[in-house]
């Protein structure tokens, strides 16, 4: 299959690269000529394990190309994937579809022969129909079908998620388009990956419903964790106990400082807005959004509390700034709420993150960025772990303790054991476990 991918952001780049790994002939298109030049020179703009190597391999073998010429790419393609950004719109939180519709207009003028136009970006219900309308209006004679094919990849595990998905959702009732999509994903039949064939609308809603459900699961365990602290229970035992019930499932029951990232916050807001617009408000999603927002601030209060009620003039070492490990992505990271709250409380912050600091420098004021975990610690009154990077799991705790002014650790990801930490002489606070 000849595939054109429009947009070389996270989803576009990973999808295009993985399609080329399947053996398809792929060209990724972006308006940003500088980005394309650097991709052609082998420079990958995002940090994603395995991506660089896969791009290099498939570029070398000729399966993967990068360019700015949308017209030629679309003319030659059997399928065109729209993977441009859909940021949160200011005001109502609905997804901003400006880029999707602009791409559709451009694609329309270049369609030749039968082409499947696929929305890969996360788009609200009804977007596929609007893309269909734009294509028809711009090129009444064109032969095409519009398909929704949402992406479920997690940052940090994107390649694995794409190459070994739990399922692939294909939103179209048109037989010809189903056949093209079946052909594109044929390599996955080796793993008997289910292809869920459904309508455009069901497919679009599946993506939002999936993300909102996972966000709800996290928020649920976060609240159970708070209750655990009150009653002297251990949230990990509770999560394991409920997670072994297959109706619940063990994943996404890890408590923490609240969910962040480029998807859950944005998608829950957009889904809630759709539900309001349609007169069928999703109250549970509204509550999840609200709890999660407040939770980030509560984490700052937890740190202040661990420091004896005030951080004024205190030196706080912070490990981890990104919204989760194995990414350089700072979008909606809890650190963006926690650190400013501590600074406002008068704290002096020294922070380190293995990949996120370049971006963090643009987003966080009054923070001293250090080049290693230990460099944050000299004379610290408290250590706060915000992101569970592997390198923070095996700190030399004797060294940590000897460097700090007072051995207080607030572990917002529960990567250390409370009993062990007490034995080592730390004042240790975590989430949902007895101190």
Q: What residues are designated binding site for substrate?
A: 152-155, 207, 252-256, 260, 324
Q: Answer yes or no whether residue 218 interacts with ligand UDX by CB under 6 A.
A: yes
Count of C-beta atoms within a 10 Å radius of residue 166: 8
Please give the C-alpha separations between residue 172 and each of 21, 121, 199, 349, 375, in angstroms, as whole numbers: 25, 16, 5, 52, 54
Q: In what order do the strands lie in the sheet with 64-67?
A: 64-67, 25-29, 2-6, 79-82, 115-119, 144-148, 168-171, 195-198
Shortest Å, Cβ 5 to ligand UDX: 16
Q: Answer yes or no whether residue 354 interacts with ligand UDX by CB under 6 A.
A: no
CA–CA separation, 28 vs 13, rounded Å?
Answer: 7
Shortest Å, Cβ 418 to ligand UDX: 19
Catalytic residue among 18, 228, 263, 370: 263
Q: Answer yes or no whether residue 264 interacts with ligand UDX by CB under 6 A.
A: yes
Number of shown-chain residues binding ligand UDX (CB under 6 A):
19
Locate tokens 């080049």: which residue? Answer: 371
28 is catalytic: no
CA–CA separation, 157 vs 326, rounded Å?
Answer: 8
Shortest Å, Cβ 161 to ligand UDX: 7
Among positions 12, 260, 345, 432, the unique one binding ligand UDX when judged by CB under 6 A: 260
Please give the C-alpha separations between residue 129 and each of 24, 171, 387, in angstroms, as whole numbers: 27, 11, 40
Among positions 54, 70, 153, 349, the unique one binding ligand UDX when judged by CB under 6 A: 153
Q: Answer yes or no whether residue 392 interacts with ligand UDX by CB under 6 A.
A: no
CA–CA separation, 381 vs 375, rounded Å?
Answer: 14
Stretch 304-323 residues interacting with ligand UDX (CB under 6 A): 323
DSSP assignment string, 181-213: HHHHTGGGGGGT--EEEE-HHHHHHHHHHHHHH
Q: Answer yes or no whether residue 136 interacts with ligand UDX by CB under 6 A.
A: no
Which residue lies nearer to ligand UDX by CB, 109 or 390?
Answer: 390
Stretch that binds ligand UDX, among 21-29, 193-201, 248-256, 284-292 (CB under 6 A): 248-256
Shortest Å, Cβ 261 to ligand UDX: 3
CA–CA separation, 135 vs 139, rounded Å?
Answer: 6
Among positions 57, 154, 401, 424, the unique one binding ligand UDX when judged by CB under 6 A: 154
Q: Answer yes or no whether residue 54 interacts with ligand UDX by CB under 6 A.
A: no
- 288 CB contacts (<8 Å, ≥6 apart)? 212, 215, 216, 219, 268
CA–CA separation, 326 vs 356, rounded Å?
Answer: 10
Q: Answer yes or no whether residue 155 interacts with ligand UDX by CB under 6 A.
A: yes
Shortest Å, Cβ 322 to ligand UDX: 9
Active site residues: 263
Residues that bind ligand UDX (CB under 6 A): 151-155, 211, 214, 218, 252-254, 256, 259-261, 263-264, 323-324
């Amino acid at each position: 299959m000849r595939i054109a991918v429009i947009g070389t952001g996270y989803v576009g780049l990973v999808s295009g690269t993985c399609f080329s790994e399947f053996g398809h002939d792929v060209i990724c298109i972006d308006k940003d000529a500088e980005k394309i030049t650097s991709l052609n020179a082998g420079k990958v703009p995002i940090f994603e394990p395995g991506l660089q190597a896969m791009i290099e391999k498939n570029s070398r073998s000729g399966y993967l190309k990068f360019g700015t010429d949308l017209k030629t790419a679309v003319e030659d393609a059997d399928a065109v994937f729209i993977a441009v950004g859909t940021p949160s719109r200011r005001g109502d939180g609905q997804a901003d579809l400006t880029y999707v519709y602009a791409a559709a207009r451009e694609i329309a003028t270049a369609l030749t022969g039968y082409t499947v136009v696929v929305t890969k970006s996360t788009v609200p219900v009804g977007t596929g129909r609007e893309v269909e309308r734009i294509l028809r209006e711009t090129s009444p004679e064109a032969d095409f079908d519009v398909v929704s094919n949402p992406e479920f990849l997690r940052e940090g595990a994107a390649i694995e998620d794409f190459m070994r998905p739990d399922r692939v959702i294909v939103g179209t009732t048109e037989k010809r388009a189903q056949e093209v999509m079946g052909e594109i994903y044929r390599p996955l039949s080796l793993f008997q990956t289910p292809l869920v064939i459904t309508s455009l609308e069901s497919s679009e809603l599946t993506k939002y419903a999936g993300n909102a459900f996972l966000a709800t699961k996290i928020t649920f365990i976060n609240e159970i964790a708070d209750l655990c602290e009150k009653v002297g229970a251990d949230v990990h035992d509770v999560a394991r106990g409920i997670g072994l019930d297959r109706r619940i499932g063990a994943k996404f029951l890890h408590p923490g400082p609240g969910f962040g990232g480029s998807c859950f916050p944005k998608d829950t807001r957009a889904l809630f807005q759709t539900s309001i617009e349609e007169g069928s408000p999703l109250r549970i999603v509204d509550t999840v959004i609200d709890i999660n927002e407040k939770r980030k601030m509560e984490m700052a209060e937890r740190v202040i509390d661990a420091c004896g009620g005030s951080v004024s003039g205190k030196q706080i070492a912070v490990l981890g700034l990104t919204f989760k490990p194995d990414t350089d992505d700072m979008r909606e990271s809890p650190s963006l709420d926690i650190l400013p709250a501590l600074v406002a409380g008068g704290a002096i912050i020294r922070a380190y993150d293995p990949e996120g600091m370049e971006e963090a420098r643009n987003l966080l004021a009054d923070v001293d960025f250090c080049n290693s975990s230990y460099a944050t610690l000299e004379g610290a009154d408290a250590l706060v772990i915000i992101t569970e990077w592997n390198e923070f799991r095996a700190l030399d705790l004797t060294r940590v303790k000897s460097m700090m002014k007072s051995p207080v650790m607030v572990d917002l990801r529960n990567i250390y054991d409370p009993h062990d930490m007490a034995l080592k002489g730390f004042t240790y606070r975590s989430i949902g476990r007895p101190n």
